[in-house]
């Protein structure tokens, strides 16, 4: 990057002033609040129900046009790409931390956020600042307005472009990019990554991605690029067949942890760490032995294995990677909203599980890692989710369920969830019109050795975090 030069002396020459006048740009936003207000006024598919998933709604050509007007910042940085149904954010965060511990400057782009919009864009674990965001919004405003005359960019497209622009500005060595929805048509699918990772696949976003595991795998496999190595975890046989077919079609090598890559994990308990999982992964170029997974649950061990395999693939492409430094970086991982205990009296756990497979994994993980006498679950989910699938698994872990609604426009009504739950398993439950009321009901039902678990929606656990930890949300959220 070229260094900026300062003007010295008390006066500028007339020639210099004239030259400066020519390049002076009018700022669209004088304040951060105005900039963020403009951003939140854009179409946000994350908040829409009955969303059509097609090349008109999710238009990569529109995304490419926006990036072209910004100077194609995504082409100025190295990237890795992570798609999948569950575990994308966890895998991305673990990989980012291990790269950072090895001395690399790492950008991380994830979604959605829990409390603050800026959680989505970080460099070396530091969120983009309000000053930086205002500056980025001022730079992107012109291109957005130009495109908006015929085909307005969406909230997520603008956010993704902002991330690329910020990572380019910050001169990152590599950026870890998580897909938003699907993969094939996702706004992030404009990059040429060094490696692609596919996390565990399961049924989610049925209205957009299809109601079969094969159709979902097809959309996720859309991130495969010609000649770019891809890594995945053990999958359903139908999903794996689709992934292999698509990898072969674009001549991308596809490796599977636990099959092509030597990987194992085991659960154990120690005085120092309590219940936890350890993983081992060995390749011709790396050996990671008995690393403690920083996040709870067998599903996180599988995510950790994928992150390690992707790290090794970057090592083979020239990135400096030391196993001991990677282990240190892994140990520094903490991820808000993933089995996070946000209150001790009473004990309140939040988790972002928002599909059937994730709820199943959560119930098992709580059983393994957290002792309790009785568990009260405060649950709310969006209408575009597999509510029946989630409730099916919920019944096996919850001693009492209180249904409520989040602040999402797509939230299912508590009454509808309660009727579905009672019909499915015949168990009694309660409803609450708000999270506050749900917490009051839960508080009255628990003792010192009991547990309250809030889950089902990013929106719901984000509300809980703000309410119980006094965190301030982003303007417009």
CATH (domain of 369) = 3.90.190.20
* 45 in the same domain as 72: yes
* 203 in the same domain as 97: yes
Question: Residue 396: inside a domain, yes or no?
Answer: yes
- Last residue of one domain, picked from the residues 297, 331, 365: 331
* 273 in the same domain as 130: yes
Question: Residue 352: inside a domain, yes or no?
Answer: yes
Query: What is residue 47's predicted lDDT score, i.e. its pLDDT?
Result: 56
Q: Which of 115, 118, 119 is nearest to 466 (CA)?
A: 115
Query: What is residue 430's predicted lDDT score, i.e. its pLDDT?
Result: 97
pTM: 0.88
In total, how many domains does the chain have? 2
Query: What is residue 181's predicted lDDT score, i.e. its pLDDT?
Result: 84
Query: What is residue 3's predicted lDDT score, i.e. its pLDDT?
Result: 34
Question: Residue 28: inside a domain, yes or no?
Answer: no
* 410 in the same domain as 269: no
* 247 in the same domain as 345: no
Question: Residue 477: inside a domain, yes or no?
Answer: no
Q: Which of 254, 197, 218 is nearest to 79 (CA)?
A: 197
- Last residue of one domain, picked from the residues 331, 350, 376: 331
Question: Residue 297: inside a domain, yes or no?
Answer: yes
* 344 in the same domain as 317: no
Q: Are 309 and 255 in contact (CB under 8 A)?
A: yes
Domain range spanning residue 116? 35-331
* 169 in the same domain as 135: yes
Query: What is residue 406's predicted lDDT score, i.e. its pLDDT?
Result: 85
Strand pairing partners for 349? 341, 453
- Could you tell me the CATH number of the domain that includes residue 192? 3.40.1190.10
Question: Residue 10: inside a domain, yes or no?
Answer: no
* 298 in the same domain as 151: yes
- Last residue of one domain, picked from the residues 268, 299, 331: 331
Query: What is residue 232's predicted lDDT score, i.e. its pLDDT?
Result: 98
Q: Are 253 and 196 in contact (CB under 8 A)?
A: no
- At residue 262, the 3 state secondary structure works out as strand
* 347 in the same domain as 268: no
Structure tokens at 273: 């760490």
Cα separation, 27 vs 134, whole angstroms: 10
Query: What is residue 71's predicted lDDT score, i.e. its pLDDT?
Result: 98
* 353 in the same domain as 313: no
* 377 in the same domain as 258: no
Question: Residue 308: inside a domain, yes or no?
Answer: yes
Query: Which parts of the chain sit beneath pLDDT 50?
Result: 1-24, 48, 205-206, 208, 475-477
* 383 in the same domain as 236: no
Question: Residue 29: inside a domain, yes or no?
Answer: no
């Amino acid at each position: 990057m070229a260094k900026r030069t300062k003007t010295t002396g008390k006066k500028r020459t007339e020639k210099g002033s004239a030259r400066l006048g020519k390049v002076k740009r009018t700022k669209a936003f004088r304040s951060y609040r105005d900039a963020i207000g403009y951003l939140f006024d854009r179409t946000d598919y994350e908040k829409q129900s009955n969303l059509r998933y097609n090349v008109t709604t999710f238009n990569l050509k529109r995304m490419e046009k926006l990036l072209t007007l910004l100077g194609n910042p995504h082409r100025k940085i190295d990237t890795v790409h992570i798609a999948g149904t569950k575990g994308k954010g966890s895998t991305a965060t673990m990989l980012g931390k291990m790269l950072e511990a090895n001395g690399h400057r790492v950008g991380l782009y994830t979604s959605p956020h829990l409390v603050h919009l800026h959680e989505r864009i970080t460099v070396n674990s530091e969120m983009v600042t309000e000053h930086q965001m205002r500056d980025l919004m001022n730079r992107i405003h012109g291109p957005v307005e130009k495109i908006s005359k015929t085909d307005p960019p969406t909230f997520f497209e603008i956010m993704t472009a902002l991330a690329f622009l910020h990572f380019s500005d910050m001169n990152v060595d590599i950026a870890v990019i998580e897909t938003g929805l699907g993969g094939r048509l996702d706004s992030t699918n404009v990059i040429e990554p060094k490696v692609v990772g596919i996390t565990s696949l399961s049924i989610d976003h049925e209205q957009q991605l299809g109601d079969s595991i094969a159709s979902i795998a097809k959309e996720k496999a859309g991130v495969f690029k010609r000649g770019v190595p891809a890594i995945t975890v053990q999958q359903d046989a139908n999903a794996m067949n689709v992934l292999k077919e698509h990898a072969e079609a674009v001549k991308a090598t596809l490796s599977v942890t636990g099959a092509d890559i030597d990987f194992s994990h085991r659960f154990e308990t120690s005085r120092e760490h309590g219940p936890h999982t350890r993983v081992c992964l060995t390749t011709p170029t790396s050996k990671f032995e008995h690393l403690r997974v920083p996040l709870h649950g067998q599903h996180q061990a599988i995510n950790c294995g994928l992150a390690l395999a992707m790290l090794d693939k970057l090592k083979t492409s020239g990135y400096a990677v030391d196993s001991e430094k990677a282990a240190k970086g892994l140990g520094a991982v903490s991820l808000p909203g993933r089995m996070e205990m946000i209150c001790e009296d009473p004990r309140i756990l939040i988790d972002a599980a928002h599909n059937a497979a994730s709820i199943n994994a959560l119930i098992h993980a709580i059983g393994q890692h957290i002792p309790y006498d009785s568990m009260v679950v405060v649950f709310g989910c969006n209408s575009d989710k597999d509510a029946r699938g989630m409730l099916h698994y919920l019944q096996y872990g919850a001693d009492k369920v209180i249904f409520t609604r989040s602040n999402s426009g797509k939230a299912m009504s508590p009454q509808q969830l309660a009727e579905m739950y009672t019909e499915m398993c015949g168990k009694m439950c309660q409803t609450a019109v708000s999270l506050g009321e749900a917490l009051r009901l839960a508080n009255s039902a628990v003792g010192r050795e009991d547990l309250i678990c809030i889950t089902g929606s990013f929106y719901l656990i984000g509300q809980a975090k703000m309410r119980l930890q006094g965190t301030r949300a982003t303007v417009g959220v």
